[in-house]
Amino acid sequence: MKSTAGKPGARRKLGMALVLGSMLSSAALWAAPQAEPVPSPSSSPAPVATPATPAAVTAPAPVDEPTLTWSVADAQALLGTIQGIDADGLIAADYQPEKLRAAIAAGPGAALDAQASKSFAWLVEDMRDGRTRMDSREQWFVVDTDVDTNPTHAMMERALASHDVSGTVAALAPTAPDYAALKGVLAVTPAANKAKRSLIQINLDRWRWLPRELGKYYLLTNVPEFQLRLTVDNAIIRSYRTIVGKVGKTATPQLAAVVKGVVFNPTWTVPQSIVVGEGLGKRLIGNPAQAARENYKVTRAKDGTITVVQQPGAGNSLGYMKLDMPNPHAIFIHDTPSRGLFGQAYRALSHGCVRTERATELGMTMAILGAGKTTDELVAIAGSGKYTLVPMTRTFPVYIMYFTMATDINGKMGTFKDLYGRDTKVLASFAAPRKLWDGKRKTTEKVIKLDNPL
């Protein structure tokens, strides 16, 4: 066999083949445990989680708080559910247990129907959508559509028809394993340790802000942890260290998107803030030889606008792989030529995008799971040096999240630094009386386009 020494392209292809071969030999990837079907709280089948962008939902959900007929037995079951709801990090007093107890004592009638219906509706709203209202969720751009799948009136009808109030409420809990893990920690945390209990509470609530079911295949990155997970049936198949946005204007927002494709050997269109603001366009437009040496393609439009596109290659700012995940923030998960930074413990270093280690491996794995590509096809594509988009044929959500207490990639519960100070408002909301739900599920915060991977 001919030696590949001295041939960078050949060595890279060989390295990719070895990485991918090792990856595919892992039984965990192809024999991932199949989760038992989780019954949906509604009568219809559970939908596949397809995260909505903020633009997908333009109006608040209607405030759905019906008044139905309650028996004393069902109302007593509701009271018991409320009294035990602290196990989910919610606050029993929010749901007026004393007023409900008085209505039960008075017996069946309009007063019991009104109070039990109100208490149940408020409890459903918080279990399904989270207790924290939108004005306390900083840089939260995920639109949760669980209210459409499981409207309050349907949940109340279900609870009363089945006489299983507790089970109906419990079925709204997130299915992600971390939710149950946090509940377990809360159960053994002494009441006197208020700071820890509060931290657990707000991170349980963050799970409720998300769709109840995240999907069979998904990516989830926890920004304060500097880690990305590739997940199948809620089990971590692989994890990757990440670099996230710097503290300040380029902090990484929390969002959900759908991966439409994997881009191997991407190009990078340089932002006008650099083209114009830093004079790059003016420097290169009249010097094509220099542009070629620096691996840029430069064009000028009829209106005079200069466009600079960095071509594929080892020095490309996006590295060798980018996930095509359209979103209004221009946030992407991508490779980087500065791979040495992954060795640092503190990695809030980017302009907002999420850089990932072993990016080519990640892209290949996703192209296998999400597009049905073969090993040989992907080695050829990645090693070609040419821009190639591999479209996804399977829905592949990606969640960029912010948990300051969570199970780490090794399965150990831990706390993570509140990099961007986003705990403060959530903690304050839990310390204050519950706000009535107004149906808002879309933030009014301004979308800042963060399109600079440097």
Name the β-bridge partners of 263. Answer: 322, 389
Sorting pLDDT into bands at 50, 70 and 90, what band is 1?
very low
Please tell me whether residue 296 adopts helix, strand or coil conformation.
strand
Residue 38's pLDDT is what?
A: 32
Q: Is the pLDDT of residue 28 over 60?
A: no
Sorting pLDDT into bands at 50, 70 and 90, what band is 441?
confident
Q: Write the CA distances from 137 to 134, 163, 202, 414, 427, integer angstroms.
A: 5, 35, 11, 22, 10
> What is the pairing mode between strands 306-310 and 296-300?
antiparallel
Q: Write the CA distances from 244 to 2, 257, 435, integer angstroms.
A: 42, 17, 33
Residue 253's pLDDT is what?
A: 96
What is the Cα 150 distance to its own chain's centre? Answer: 21
39-48, 79-88, 116-125, 418-427: least confidently modelled range: 39-48
Name the β-bridge partners of 414. Answer: 406
Q: Is the pLDDT of residue 454 over 80?
A: no
Q: Write the CA distances from 274 to 309, 377, 454, integer angstroms.
A: 12, 36, 11
Q: Residues in the chain, how many?
A: 454
The number of helices, as runs of H, and strands, as runs of E, in the chain is 16, 16
Instruction: Tell me what the pLDDT averaged over the chain comes to.
Output: 89
Sorting pLDDT into bands at 50, 70 and 90, what band is 216?
very high
Residue 62's pLDDT is what?
A: 77
Q: What is the pTM of this model?
A: 0.87
Taking only the tens place, the pLDDT of each residue in 49-66 is 445 443 445 567 778 999
178-188: average pLDDT: 98
| More confident site: 119 or 277 | 119
Residue 50's pLDDT is what?
A: 45
Please tell me whether residue 227 adopts helix, strand or coil conformation.
strand
Sorted by sequence, the CB contacts under 8 Å of residue 132 that are 6+ apart come out as: 202, 205, 209, 426, 429, 430
* CA 216-218-205 angle, 5° bins: 95
Taking only the tens place, the pLDDT of each residue in 124-146 is 999 999 999 999 999 999 999 99
Taking only the tens place, the pLDDT of each residue in 247-264 is 999 999 999 999 999 999
Instruction: Report domain extents, the chain.
Output: 54-213
206-219: average pLDDT: 96
Angle between helix 110-129 and 72-83 (nearest 10): 40
Residue 272's pLDDT is what?
A: 87
64-73, 248-257, 269-278, 327-336: least confidently modelled range: 269-278
Helix (H) or strand (E) holding 262, with range, is strand 261-264
Nearest-angstrom CA–CA distance, 192 and 56: 43
Sorting pLDDT into bands at 50, 70 and 90, what band is 35?
very low
426-454: average pLDDT: 87
Residue 60's pLDDT is what?
A: 73
